[in-house]
Amino acid sequence: MSDAGEMSEATDLTDQERRFEEKIAAEERIEPKDWVPDAYRKNLVRQMSQHAHSEVIGMQPEGNWLTRAPTLERKQVLLAKIQDEAGHGLYLYSATETLGVTREELIEALHEGRAKYASIFNYPSLTWADIGAIGWLVDGAAIVNQISLQRTSYGPYARAMVRICKEESFHQRQGYQIMVTLAQGSDEQKQMAQDALNRWWWPSLMMFGPHDAESAHSAQSTLWKIKRMGNDEGRQKFVDQTVPQADIISLEIPDPDLRWNEERQHYDFGEIDWDEFMQVISGNGPCNRQRLGQHRKAHNDGVWVREAMAAYAARERDAEGEGES
Amino acid sequence: MTEANSDIAEYSLRLGDDALILAQRLCEWCADAPLLEEDIAIANVGLDYIGRARMFLQYAGELTGSSEDELAYLRDSAEFRNLLMVELPRGDFAFSMVRQYLLDEYESLFFAGLKQSKDANLAGIAEKTLKEVHYHLRRSREWMRRLALGTEESHRRSQDAIDELWGYVAEFFESDEVEERLVGLGIAVERRDLEQAWRASVGELAAKTGLMVPDDDLRQTGGRSGVHTEHLGHLLAEMQFVQRSYPGLKW
């Protein structure tokens, strides 16, 4: 390559940067073929793969009740929901792969603890009511976040969110519907529902992450419009929409500081136990080891199957090649 | 209830139980499949089986005055009428896939026959089911080729699975008085007539993939009359736990 070529490449770089910044400012989508700063790419891979892993690990606490679902209809709906989540995981892995990483690398990062998944799934699902609470609260919180991500700056991620949001609202409704049925049921069922709400409420609030001021990736992600909503804003939205739903079915939110603030036109609520939050994030929640262990085991048990697939595909390719010659 | 209706209820219950118990085994693969695509595919097949179980159990329930959930959750092992093969523990991926394949070949013949049933309800369910079975069979045949021709290990595991499962094949083609009466009325499928075609299809795939078809010495039967393996009781204990622990509630 000539000197002139190298010169123009150097100028192009600043042009590229400028074009990238202009696109972000103009709310245009960044697409896989567009040049992006390395830090933007890394930030996205971190967030999108974490999102994909969350869908996949999230299958475990719900799968825990699949074989014990109390009616055939509930079993059918729960299996359909879990299948959706596997589909979301696959869709998000594919979207992440447009950034130049493979699913295998992403899974390796998960197994080695370099990649995270939503901490909420490190809590156990102990009764059937937990399946209701997960749909109602966990999916409810996830939707708040995912709706805002429909406007995220990376095209494949934004489009994945549009598709995923449609299914998530069905998930949230099926969860709430389980809670409604239990709350109208026997004393034991009501107690089961209340107990599930007690255990899942605070972890659901933690899903929005630390306060904005303390969030490690928030500032840069917001500048790049990867993140379109503050952690505290999302949390407030979730509380505001969920408290009336609990009231309707006479369940009590386990927060003595919760009250309507007429002036703010929002609910005030108590402070999260940030020590617990840090413990679970750093791997010391009730089910961290179990969840990761299960994923690792399934992955390792499947090695021979994936090897057989690869060997068979190679064999078929060879056979085709011979047929052509 | 007339004898014919009582026979039809029993027949529908048997077909519902086949689907329900296999669905339960498929559910055990949740979050445990060798790759995410298979998590999705197994759930797909499982959803078909739960849907099928519900249709047959609802029909049996209409004739006997029970709900689908009463039939699924409140009967004990001896009252279940499923084929023994579907209740066997899920095993490794090869075991589950070979079982699926053997059943898919059988079901494609069986439901093609049941589609012609003079009972409109059974014929309707069979017609819907047959479309699903064709998709299942395409998938399981493809997997059989992959596993049998893939690696030495996948071939060995497939052969082990066939050897283990073969003793439960005889039951596919075994009839009894209830079915004979319904066959006479043009309602049920004469299962004995399916055996030759089934053996031809399975034999052809085995020959192409180098799998050995085992001999027929072992003939485990009894599912249709409620004599099951030890495994069914454990499966039911898990499946029925909530309904049994909190009787009579809505969920």
Is 80 exceeded by the pLDDT of residue B155?
yes
Chain B residue numbers touching A308 (CB-CB < 8 A): 146-147, 150-151, 153-154
Q: How far is A138 from chain B (nearest CA, A)?
A: 18
Q: Find out whether A253 and A243 touch, Cβ atoms under 8 Å.
A: yes
For the question of an ipTM over 0.90, the answer is yes
Beta strands in B50-118 (DSSP E): none
- The verdict on A309 touching B (C-beta cutoff 8 Å) is yes
Residue A219 CA to chain centroid, in angstroms? 20
Say which CATH architecture domain B3-245 belongs to.
Up-down Bundle (1.20)
Q: Is the C-alpha dihedral spanning B64, B66, B68, B71 positive or negative?
A: negative
Is 60 exceeded by the pLDDT of residue B47?
yes
A298–B32 C-beta distance less than 8 A: yes
A87–B34 C-beta distance less than 8 A: no
The neighbouring-strand residues paired with A267 are A260
A90–B47 C-beta distance less than 8 A: no
pLDDT along chain A (325 residues), means of 10: 46 82 95 95 96 98 98 98 97 97 98 96 98 97 96 97 91 96 98 98 97 86 92 97 98 98 98 96 95 98 98 93 69
- DSSP 3-state percent helix, strand, coil across chain A (nearest 5): 70, 0, 25
* Identity of the residue numbered B79: E
**Cα(B4)–Cα(B113) distance, integer angstroms:** 19
How far apart, in Å, are the Cα atoms of A132 and each of A77, A264, B41? Answer: 12, 31, 25
Interface of A with B in 80-109 (CB under 8 A): 80, 82-83, 86-87, 89-90, 93
Q: How far is B193 from chain A (nearest CA, A)?
A: 33
CA gyration radius for chain A? 23
Domain ranges of chain B: 3-245
Confidence (pLDDT) at A6: 47
Q: Find out whether A49 and A12 touch, Cβ atoms under 8 Å.
A: no
Chain B residue numbers touching A316 (CB-CB < 8 A): none
The stretch B180-199 carries a mean pLDDT of 98
pLDDT tens sequence across B50-87: 999 999 999 999 999 999 999 999 999 999 999 999 99
Confidence (pLDDT) at A325: 54
Q: Find out whether B52 and B136 touch, Cβ atoms under 8 Å.
A: no
Phi/psi for A266 (5° steps) reads: -140, 165
- Which stretches within A72-154 are classed as H helix? 72-97, 103-111, 128-133, 140-149
Confidence (pLDDT) at A324: 61
A312–B150 C-beta distance less than 8 A: yes
Chain B residue numbers touching A72 (CB-CB < 8 A): 20, 50, 53-54, 57, 68-69, 72
The stretch B122-145 carries a mean pLDDT of 98
Chain B residue numbers touching A181 (CB-CB < 8 A): 250-251
For residue A19, give the nearest of A36, A5, A3, A2 by alpha carbon. A36
Confidence (pLDDT) at A219: 85
- The verdict on A305 touching B (C-beta cutoff 8 Å) is yes
Query: What six digits make up the tokens of A66?
Result: 């699949």
What confidence tier does B109 reach under pLDDT thresholds 50, 70, 90?
Answer: very high
Confidence (pLDDT) at A5: 44
Confidence (pLDDT) at A208: 96
